[in-house]
Homo-oligomer: A and B are copies of this chain.
Amino acid sequence: MISEKMMQITENSSAIRAMFEEGKQMAAQFGAENVYDFSLGNPNVPAPAEVKAAIEEIIRGEDPLMVHGYMSNSGYEDVRAAIAACLNKRFATGFSEENILMTVGAAGGLNVILKTLLNPGDEVLTFAPYFGEYRAYVSNYDGVLKAVEPDTATFQPNLEKLAQMITPKTKAVIVNTPNNPTGVVYPEDTIVRMAKILRDKEEKFGISIYLISDEPYRELVYDDAFVPYLTKYYHNTIVGYSFSKSLSLPGERIGYLVIPDEADDSETIIKAASVANRILGYVNAPSLFQRVIAKCLDAKVDVAYYNRNRETLYEGLTKAGFSCIRPEGAFYLFMKSPIADESVFCETAKKYHLLLVPGSSFACPGFVRLAYCVTYETIVNALPHFAELAREYNL
């Protein structure tokens, strides 16, 4: 009776979100302290103090009609100008407010740009493992998502396979570095080689291929890992940013798109993306939080907290006998399942009150994802349970 597409999607709905609900039920049953929920990327490090101060300053000092009112669908000009200036300072780019479109988080931004770019049947490439929602986002606009097979040794993008998979129907490539679910960061030389491939294929097929950089984890990097700013390497780059993780505001739905002048058809895309923001029903990014983040562009959550979690978890799991990819960014750790069917492994882990997400949710079976945006105590207390789990598999 209802949408057949939605029926299907609902039936296969996000394992991560299902686990979020299951985690809440288990916490109610066994006590929250006895459930080790590594399922959802919900930051546990609170928003920096600047956020609260900014909210108070704005609601006390600014006109409520302006703070809570409509503005241009693209967002407040002064907020967009502040973001452009901040990016220019950090990355020596040359953006103005015209290049910035405020969005309802990165998820909103990706939907806006895909709605803007895709014609039915257009192909979008991404690298497995990838955030499973990309499939739904591309399908929303009748595009076809094609995943480039992972290199399971390094989880760096498989560029040879990328080159083979680009066709005249390729409209976009989505990259996500620092990566969810692996935590790897793409080094500069990888970006340079990727840009060359894309440029060559653009020329060969006479098309534009947009590189969509999904960057919610840009600020969460460890050991001073360098995260190249992709617009500087490839002309047709569009950046989708979110403050969900950098300021621990995932529920507030605030982010932005960067559409550089040097992108093909940039003027048309900028205009159309603003209209897409409106007609997809976002209308505009939430107004108070547009103003809040403009005051917090130099603020940052306590990344050291995540780093301690990362080191303790990686060391503990490795010591227990698990095989893990060492994360360089984000707050995810990708671990090899000791058995081929990682869903069975995840079910077994639940016996030990450990909630892990099967790699199949990221088009990468045989692995599991742990979100370590949890309290340090959760990690410390979970490690003995992981050790027991390892013993069950004779690791």
- A residues with CB within 8 A of B: 1-7, 9-10, 13-14, 17, 20-21, 40, 42-44, 46-47, 51-52, 55-56, 59, 63-65, 67-73, 104-105, 107-112, 115-119, 133, 136-137, 140-141, 208, 248-253, 264-265, 268-269, 271-272, 275-276, 278-289
* Bound form: Cα–Cα A68–B265 in Å: 36
Q: How far is the CA of A64 from the CA of B250 in the complex (A)?
A: 11
* Nearest opposing residue in chain B for A46, CB measure: B64
CB–CB A284/B3 < 8 A: no
CB-based contact A279/B7 at 8 Å? no
Known: A5-B119, A47-B64, A281-B282. 16 other contacts (CB 8 A): A3-B119, A6-B116, A6-B275, A6-B276, A44-B65, A51-B68, A55-B55, A56-B56, A69-B250, A107-B281, A108-B282, A111-B281, A133-B278, A140-B279, A251-B288, A253-B283
A105 contact set on B, CB distance < 8 A: 281, 283
Evaluate whether A69 and B116 lie within 8 angstroms (CB atoms) in the complex, with A6-B272, A278-B17 already known.
Answer: no
Known A3-B119, A65-B43, A69-B43; judge A107-B283 contact (CB<8 A). yes
By secondary structure, the A interface counts as helix
Closest beta carbon of chain B to A17's beta carbon, Å: 7
Q: How far is the CA of A72 from the CA of B3 in the complex (A)?
A: 22
Contacts of A56 in B (CB 8 A): 56, 59
Q: Are B117 and A2 in contact (CB under 8 A)?
A: yes
Which residues from B are CB-within-8-Å of A116? 2-3, 6
Interchain CB contact under 8 A, B275 and A68: no
Query: Within 8 Å CB of A55, what residues of B?
Result: 55, 59
List 20 A-B pairs, Cβ < 8 Å.
A2-B265, A3-B119, A6-B116, A17-B278, A20-B70, A21-B72, A42-B70, A44-B65, A52-B64, A55-B55, A56-B56, A67-B251, A71-B251, A107-B281, A107-B283, A111-B281, A137-B279, A251-B284, A251-B286, A286-B286
Chain B: which residue is nearest A250 at the CB level?
B70
Q: How many Å lie between the Cα of A285 and that of B43 in the bound state?
A: 18
How long is the Cα–Cα vector from A265 to B206 in the complex, in angstroms? Answer: 48
CA distance A392 to B67 in the complex (A): 39
A169 to chain B, nearest CB (A): 13
- Rank and list the top 4 A-B pairs by shortest CB-CB distance, nearest first: A251-B287, A111-B281, A136-B279, A107-B281
How close is A289's CB to chain B, nearest CB, in angstroms?
7
In the complex the two chains form, what is the Cα distance from A42 to B43 in whole Å?
34
Asked if A280 contacts B118 (CB within 8 A), the reply is: no
Per the bound structure, the CA–CA distance linking A64 and B56 in Å amounts to 14
Q: Which residues of B contact A276 (CB under 8 A)?
A: 6
B119, B280, B289: the one contacting A140 at CB < 8 Å is B280
Contact B10 A73 (CB under 8 A): no
Distance in angstroms from A276 CB to nearest chain B CB is 6
- With A and B bound together, what is the CA distance between A69 and B44 in angstroms? 9
Q: Are A253 and B282 neighbours in the complex by a CB distance under 8 Å? A: yes
